[in-house]
Amino acid sequence: MQFEPSLFSTLSGDPHLGELVELYVQEMPERIALLERLAAAQQWEELARAAHQLKGSAGGYGFGILAGPAERLEQAARKGADTTSILQALAQLVQLCRRIGPATH
């Protein structure tokens, strides 16, 4: 298994936003769990909405690297792609989400 380095917020050095970024990082496991629950229940519209929200919030907290994968998941779920494609998009997004690190590094 290959080590995947942590991803840090581009805002991690901002003294005014550091605590908010840290909170966002701490809440990421809950966001991942929600995405996985919605996918398991095949609630595609809700999954698309959650991916859209993650896309926006990730950019706002300096994790723009998540925007593309979140967009792919959103579009796959919204446009009724086959389940395999949706789950692949979810897996790619979740893999990145699990790599985000604390605000300070």
pLDDT in tens, 54-97: 999 999 999 999 999 999 999 999 998 999 999 999 999 999 99
The pLDDT assigned to 53 comes to 97
| Structural domain containing residue 82 | 18-97
Q: Establish if 12 belongs to a structural domain.
A: no
| Structural domains in the chain (count) | 1
In a domain, 59, yes or no: yes
CATH of the domain at 50: 1.20.120.160
- 7 located within any domain: no
Identify whether 8 is part of a domain: no
CA distances from 55 to 1, 73, 80 (A): 28, 10, 19
**Is residue 4 in a domain?**
no
Dump pLDDT digits (tens) for 36-50.
Answer: 999 999 999 999 999
- Tell me, yes or no, whether 83 lies in a domain: yes
37 in a domain, yes or no?
yes
Provide the pLDDT confidence category of residue 105 given band limits of 50, 70 and 90.
very low
**Phi and psi (nearest 5°) for 28?**
-60, -40
Rounded to whole angstroms, the Cα distance separating 99 from 105 reads: 13
